[in-house]
Copies of this chain bind each other. A is one copy, B any other.
């Protein structure tokens, strides 16, 4: 029997569904629009239809395939309740009992579980990626926001209420920038892709840098990729953006190390494509902020999950963790 798991990534615009094997390879993929109509039951019906079609197709390819379960990554997902709760970027209002609705559709599956996308990334790193064999590590996902997933003693930390691992909303600059959540000075407001853009505009203003290539983009146009390209072409504003982003991120990572003493911290997401531009200043800043007992111990590593499929691969990994737990 070839065992596979289904991973579902519910995003603001699209919901991607994939069948993933034990090595983290995506065998098959489908995508449906995340609805704007707010009707969760209809959405689950459509999702279940797609899953059923894919199970059918994968078994046709290899009749020896066993589908173990479904793992879902979604914003504001609560692992304990199986619900999506008050997600500001989805059209569903209030509480959506997604796991229960899917269990009704697939009573034959051994495990159906949900968590947020950063937690799914951490589980993906543990099951298929660079954290295999690690018992204590943290994943930071850098993108439109900054998410995180925390693993302690080999298990993802959900905390008392299912929502642990919101390190993007730790305060790194008291009274600092407005964050998307309404708070101030959060890591996310500095180290997300939009945070980097904000830093670029601060620096353009500070230096009146009319000759920077970044000076030709408006606030809604400039993105992290453009900043990276400008850095590569030698632009000093873009390079300072990375220095400052790394300084702030390293401070946040040091705070995480002082809480948890992880073996490694993985960075995932668009801005990490800038490689040494972001990893070097982040590492320097983290080391600078660490107690002597922690210095030169904690690795900062790029995620080993493939960028395009990471969300569904991470979500599918939830299934293997659930089945492991059921063994105990």
Q: Which residues of A contact B (CB under 8 A)?
A: 76, 85-86, 135-136, 150, 152-153, 155, 157-174, 181-183, 251, 254-256, 258-263, 289, 291-294, 297-298
A76 to B163: give the CA distance in the assembly, Å. Answer: 31
Q: Which residues of B contact A158 (CB under 8 A)?
A: 261
Query: Chain A contact residues: over half helix, strand or loop, or mixed?
Result: loop
Q: List 15 A-B contacts (CB under 8 A).
A: A135-B160, A153-B155, A159-B262, A160-B261, A163-B261, A166-B258, A166-B261, A166-B291, A166-B293, A169-B258, A170-B255, A181-B291, A181-B292, A182-B292, A183-B289
Closest Cβ of chain B to A102, distance in Å, is: 23
Closest Cβ of chain B to A160, distance in Å, is: 4
Question: What is the oligomeric copy number?
Answer: 2
A135 to B155: give the CA distance in the assembly, Å. Answer: 14
- Checking B160, B166, B172 against A174 with a beta-carbon cut-off of 8 angstroms, the contacting residue is B172
Q: Are B251 and A159 in contact (CB under 8 A)?
A: no
Q: Which residues of B contact A258 (CB under 8 A)?
A: 166-170
- Checking B164, B251, B262, B294 against A261 with a beta-carbon cut-off of 8 angstroms, the contacting residue is B164
Closest Cβ of chain B to A175, distance in Å, is: 10
- Checking B136, B167, B183 against A159 with a beta-carbon cut-off of 8 angstroms, the contacting residue is B136
Closest Cβ of chain B to A49, distance in Å, is: 31
A173 to B298: give the CA distance in the assembly, Å. Answer: 23
Q: Which residue of B lies closest to A258 (CB)?
A: B166
19 new A-B contacts at CB < 8 Å, known A157-B261, A160-B261, A259-B260? A86-B293, A150-B260, A152-B159, A160-B262, A160-B297, A160-B298, A163-B293, A163-B294, A164-B261, A165-B261, A166-B261, A166-B291, A166-B294, A167-B258, A168-B258, A170-B259, A171-B254, A182-B292, A183-B291
